[in-house]
């Protein structure tokens, strides 16, 4: 199996049974933005390098996750999260080391990541791994608009709503960009 055990943390590939716990983790870590429906993000990741969608379990509880990708030019880190009650125990460090090991083995020469302006407290964490600010401006364009999880919806409830892409053409719609 594709498992790595680091002290009391078991890092393994995501399994569909993990979905609700992963979404709760992301919600608790404030990683779910209005423009990103986490269920859709998971579905998409499972179509491309699903083996690089890792979760970590400690004390029988899902406590960390990370999605990584590599396009042949750059590696990317997304949704790196550690439950707040489990932070400062080395769990994020263990996850980053595992992801870096896998991307390096694939021949990845550089890893990029984006940090939301509202999450600036994590910058120091990434700097400890040698990440530096690149002199670039990040731009994005939504090709698919996801209906966000309803504010009153918990991770166990499926959201089958769709959104009209025409509503997003100006970038200032209710779902963000």
* CA diameter of the chain: 50
Bridge partners, residue 54, by sequence: 13, 66
Task: Centre a 10 Å sphere on the Cβ of residue 91 and count the other Cβ atoms it contains.
Answer: 21
The pLDDT mean for the chain works out to 84
Q: Are 145 and 165 in contact (CB under 8 A)?
A: yes
95 pLDDT higher than 90: yes
Q: Are 67 and 45 in contact (CB under 8 A)?
A: yes
Distances (CA, A) of 25 to 7, 49, 127, 132, 159: 21, 21, 23, 26, 18
3-state secondary structure of 27: helix
Please, what is the end-to-end C-alpha distance for the chain in angstroms? 39
3-state secondary structure of 10: strand
Cα angle: 154, vertex 10, 98; to 5 degrees: 100
The whole model's pTM is what?
0.79
The reported pLDDT for the residue numbered 118 is: 83
Task: For residue 154, name the pLDDT band (cuts at 50, 70, 90).
Answer: low
Residues 54, 128: Cα–Cα separation, whole Å: 21
The reported pLDDT for the residue numbered 63 is: 97
Closest residue by Cα to residue 137 from 162, 155, 156, 114: 114
Chain centroid to CA 125: 16
Strands 4-6 and 111-113: what pairing?
unpaired
The reported pLDDT for the residue numbered 36 is: 83
101 pLDDT higher than 80: yes
The reported pLDDT for the residue numbered 152 is: 55
What residue ranges define each of the domains in the chain, with the CATH number in brackets?
4-137 (3.40.630.30)
Phi, psi of 5 (to 5 degrees): -105, 120
Q: Are 163 and 147 in contact (CB under 8 A)?
A: yes
Query: What number is the average pLDDT over the span 64-83?
Result: 96
């Amino acid at each position: 199996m594709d498992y790595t055990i680091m002290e009391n943390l078991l890092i393994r590939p995501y399994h569909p049974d993990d979905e609700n716990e992963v979404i709760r983790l992301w919600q608790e870590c404030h990683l779910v933005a209005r423009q990103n429906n986490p269920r859709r993000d998971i579905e998409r990741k499972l179509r491309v390098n699903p083996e690089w969608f890792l979760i970590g379990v400690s004390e029988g509880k899902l406590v960390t996750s990370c999605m990584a990708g590599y396009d042949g030019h750059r590696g990317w880190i997304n949704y790196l999260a550690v439950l707040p009650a489990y932070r400062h125990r080395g769990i994020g460090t263990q996850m980053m080391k595992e992801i870096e090991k896998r991307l390096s083995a694939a021949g990845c020469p550089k890893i990029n990541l984006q940090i939301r302006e509202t999450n600036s407290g994590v910058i120091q964490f990434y700097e400890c791994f040698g990440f530096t600010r690149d002199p670039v401006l990040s731009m994005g364009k939504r090709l698919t608009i996801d209906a966000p999880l309803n504010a009153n919806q918990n991770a166990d409830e499926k959201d089958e709503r769709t959104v009209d892409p025409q509503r997003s053409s100006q970038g200032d719609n209710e779902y963000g960009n």
